[in-house]
Chain A
Amino acid sequence: MAASTPNGIEEPGQARREAMALRRAAGSFLERRWASILVVAVALAAYFAVANPAFLSGNNLLTIASFLSETAIVTAGEVMVMICGEIDLSVGFVAAMAPFVMYFVWNDAGLPLWLGVVAGLIVSGIVGLVNGLVTVVLRVPSFVTTLGMSFLLNGLTLTTTGAFPIQAPEQGTRFAALMGHNQVAELGWAIAVVLIVQIGLSYTRWGLYTIATGGNLLGASEAGVNVRAIKIANFILCSVLGGLAGILLAFRVSSIDPSAGGYDIMFRAVSGAVIGGTALAGGSGTVIGGFIGALVLAILLDGFTLQGIQANTFDLILGAAILVAMILNVTLQGRRQQGGQ
């Protein structure tokens, strides 16, 4: 209409309309919370790059990549569990256990290593199934269920392994490189996981029902959504991804360490999810946001280490940053809910 009549009178209106469209586009970009977190990530990276030239060196970027990859894979699962209104605190101990399962299947049972990997992921999935069943059927809050599961798994891993690290199998092979010893391959795993889970969240019934379950449990089940099955499925997914991250970590450092993973990676995953905009109360969030949240954490950790900040000081800064992110998450969510009224 206006475009097809290129006279002088139409132009100002056209220009104003374009400006408005532009402003609206910018507005909706910032409304996507992961976008504003991306701005933070870029700003942080720019700061550290200026402060310390080593930040942008190839080796350092690989360090960030592997740190990011392991966290981001766990974050992807945690985001799904959190969107449906639950939390999984045991995922880090699944990460510690899975490579041992893999090792036992390979070393003690003498099966091919890839079968060991599959077995590790299956056992991880069973842990998620138990988490889900206890939470959904026995109605124990997932916070408590998975906290108990954390201790149980940690004890199990420590007793069966004698609490000693062992060497990761088949070092120097292409399989080991593919399974995470090569940090680029590890990043590839993370990106693949994030994309697949995000597509599942945005474009499948599973994702729709996950948001529905966390956003309005009663309304979703009234509409016919099997909210129990959705929750259990997401617990299983989260545990399997925790197991995958643990196996990748083991191959990367060529060692299976019973003290790897644990609360540390779980806490980073939950923080990454929250920083990336997943609502603590459930009902909304994105996997891509979680990935960028994990990226922010990776940049912070690496940057501060390069700056030579002590580990204790670092914990202080990181803890404060995460608290602020969580407070913002809750207050922004509240404002968003009231947005239209």
Chain B
Amino acid sequence: MSEESAREEGRGPVSTAPAIATDGIAKRFGPVVALRGVSMHLDRGEVLGLIGDNGAGKSTLIKILTGFHQPDSGRIYVDGKEVRLRSVSHARSLGIETVYQDLALIPGLSVYHNLFLKRERLLHPLPFLANQEMRRKAVDWLREMGVDIPTIDAEVARLSGGQRQAIAIARAVYSEARILLLDEPLAAMGAKEATQILDLIWNLKQRGQVSMIVIAHNYAQVFTVCDRINLLRHGTISLDRRTSEITVQELTDVVVEEYRRSHQSA
């Protein structure tokens, strides 16, 4: 049901409010202007590719959307309501979750303990962990998400970058996040692993429960799973195109042209 409505929202901006939207977000760190008026939106069930060169302001924007930084000016709307994101936990309580490749997981814990960290099931009334229950639920959940992990008992330290990324994403979705910010989900990954993560993003999109912003350096890789691409350059969104209206080659031409112009003017 949400899949259909999401598709509708994607076509016409009328029906419901976007999952998250910003209006004129600006942020400076001392003399450095990181963002100068970013207005963007992420529709429900949509996958938005956020691309841009190093220093374009991608990470600052993401840190503002997750409540880590507070903007100097501008507004943020979640489900159409204006919010001031006070902290990471405040943003999380609104269903906004960031997935960093290596930050989220505990290397010395098993896959299922990682999935259930801070949401452990206990053998009530005893204070002991219900490991069997958590293990079983984790297996089911990962299977449902289409995540292929050699063994649920393995310590995360033993898994590959792609497997870790998949578990981190699965955990965020399991925590009932509605807006996922994936920071360079394919960084340092081989083709096979990258494909698995793209498949996972695709699966999530089909389920329609989460909206996603995918931050990527290499946009050609994520192009296929994105509904729309935003190019962030010099602290503003300089391009906003649906992937159905543009090819990777055309996008590359635009990006190159943008850079050429900016270098000439600078």
State whether B159 touches A223 (Cβ < 8 A): no
B117 with A225: CB separation less than 8 A? yes
0/1 interface trace, chain A 194-214, chain B, CB 8 Å (1 if under): 000000000111001001101
Which of A211, A225, A339, A340 sits near B108, CB closer than 8 Å? Answer: A211
Instruction: List residues of A (276-296) whose CB comes within 8 Å of B's CBs.
Output: 279, 283-284
Q: Is B103 interfacial (CB-CB < 8 Å)?
A: yes
Shortest Cβ gap from B134 to chain A (Å)? 10
Of all chain B residues, the one with the shortest Cβ separation from A284 is B108
Contacts of B97-150 to chain A: CB distance below 8 A: 103-109, 113, 117-118, 120, 122, 127-129, 131
Q: Are B117 and A208 in contact (CB under 8 A)?
A: yes
Chain B: interface size category: 20 to 34
Q: Does residue B161 face the partner (Cβ distance < 8 Å to A)?
A: yes
- A336-B161 Cα distance, complex, nearest whole Å: 14
Q: Decide yes or no: A283 and B107 within 8 Å by CB, A203-B129, A208-B117, A339-B158 being known contacts.
A: yes
Instruction: Indicate if A161 sits at the interface (CB-CB under 8 A).
Output: no
B59 at the interface (CB under 8 A from A): no
Which of B89, B107, B129 lies at the interface centre, i.e. has the most chain A CB atoms within 10 A of its CB?
A: B107
B163 contacts the other chain (CB 8 A): yes
Interface contacts (Cβ under 8 Å), in number, total 67
B106: contacting residue among A212, A224, A336, CB under 8 A: A212
CB-contacts of A39-84 with B (<8 A): none
Chain A residues, CB < 8 A from B161: 341
Interface contact B160-A212, CB-CB below 8 Å = no
Determine whether the beta carbon of A222 is less than 8 Å from that of B104: yes
Tell whether, in the assembled complex, residue B118 and residue A219 are in contact, meaning their CB atoms are under 8 Å apart: no
A205, A208, A340: which contacts B109 (Cβ < 8 A)?
A: A208
Within 8 Å of chain B (Cβ to Cβ): is A218? yes
Please give, as numbers and ranges, the residues of chain B lying within 8 Å of A225 by CB-CB distance: 117-118
With contact pairs A223-B117, A340-B159, A341-B160 given, residues A208 and B108 touching in the complex (Cβ less than 8 Å): no
Chain A contacts of B107 at CB under 8 A? 215-216, 283-284, 337
Tell me the bound Cα distance from A208 to B127 in angstroms: 13
B173 vs chain A, min Cβ distance (A): 15
Q: B28 to chain A: closest CB distance in Å?
A: 25
Q: In chain B, what residue has the closest Cβ to A207?
A: B129
Chain A contact residues: helix, strand, loop or mixed: helix
Q: Are B158 and A336 in touch, CB under 8 angstroms?
A: yes
How far, in whole Å, are A215 and B157 apart by their CA atoms in the complex?
A: 10
Instruction: Return chain A residues, CB-CB under 8 Å to B128.
Output: 203-204
Query: B106 and A211: CB pair below 8 A?
Result: yes
Q: How far is the CB of A178 from chain B (nearest CB, A)?
A: 28
Q: How far is the CA of A341 from the CA of B157 in the complex (A)?
A: 9
B152 is an interface residue with CB less than 8 A from chain A: no
Chain A residues with CB under 8 Å of B157's CB are 336-337, 339-340
Q: In the complex, how many angstroms separate the beta carbon of A297 from the nearest chain B beta carbon?
A: 24
CB within 8 Å of B: which of A235-286? 279, 283-284
* Chain B residues within 8 Å of A208, by CB: 109, 113, 117, 120, 129
A216 touches B103 (CB 8 A): yes
| Pairwise interchain contact B106-A204, C-beta atoms closer than 8 A | no
Asked whether B118 lies within 8 Å of A224 as measured between CB atoms, the reply is yes
Bound-state Cα–Cα, A154 to B257, Å? 72
Query: Does A136 reach chain B (CB closer than 8 Å)?
Result: no
Would you call B88 an interface residue if the criterion is a C-beta within 8 Å of the partner chain's C-beta atoms?
yes
User: Quick check: is A134 within 8 A (CB to CB) of the other chain?
Assistant: no
Contact between chains at B103 and A222 (CB < 8 Å): yes
Indicate if the CB atoms of A340 and B88 lie closer than 8 Å.
no
CA distance A283 to B106 in the complex (A): 8
A-contacting residues, B65-120, CB 8 Å: 88-89, 103-109, 113, 117-118, 120
Closest to B103 in A: A219
* Nearest CB of chain B from residue A290's CB, rounded to whole Å: 16
A220 within 8 A of B: yes
Identify the interface centre among B104, B106, B118, B131: most chain A CB within 10 Å of its CB: B106
A223 and B104 contacting across the interface, CB-CB below 8 Å = yes
Contact between chains at A283 and B118 (CB < 8 Å): no
Are B103 and A340 neighbours in the complex by a CB distance under 8 Å?
no
Do B120 and A224 touch across chains, with their CB atoms under 8 A apart? no
The listed residue (B108, B160, B163) touching A214 by CB distance below 8 A is B108
CA distance A337 to B164 in the complex (A): 13
Could you say which residues of chain A place their CB within 8 Å of the CB of B104? 219, 222-223
Give the shortest distance, in Å, between B182 (CB) and chain A (any CB): 16
Contacts of A211 in B (CB 8 A): 106, 108-109
Pick from A218, A219, A224: contact of B89, CB below 8 A: A224
Contact A219 B106 (CB under 8 A): yes
For the complex, what is the distance from the CA of A225 to the CA of B104, rounded to whole Å? 12
Q: Which residues of B contact A205 (CB under 8 A)?
A: 120, 122, 127, 129
Q: How far is the CB of B35 from chain A (nearest CB, A)?
A: 23
Q: How distant is A162 from chain B, measured CB to nearest CB, in Å?
A: 45
Which chain B positions have C-beta within 8 A of A339? Answer: 157-158
* Whole-angstrom CA separation of A219 from B118 in the bound complex: 12
The smallest beta-carbon distance between B205 and chain A, in angstroms, is: 25
User: Are the CB atoms of B118 and A340 closer together than 8 Å?
Assistant: no
| Docked complex Cα distance between A203 and B129 (Å) | 5
Residue of B nearest to A205 (CB): B120
Please measure, in the bound complex, the distance between the C-alpha atom of A222 and the C-alpha atom of B128, giving whole angstroms: 23
A21 to B177, CA, bound (A): 39
5 residue pairs bridging A and B, Cβ less than 8 Å apart: A214-B108, A216-B103, A216-B107, A223-B117, A283-B106
Given A204-B129, A211-B108, output 6 extra A-B contacts at Cβ < 8 Å.
A212-B106, A215-B109, A219-B103, A219-B104, A279-B108, A283-B106
Give 4 nearest A-B pairs by CB, closest first: A284-B108, A215-B108, A283-B108, A224-B118
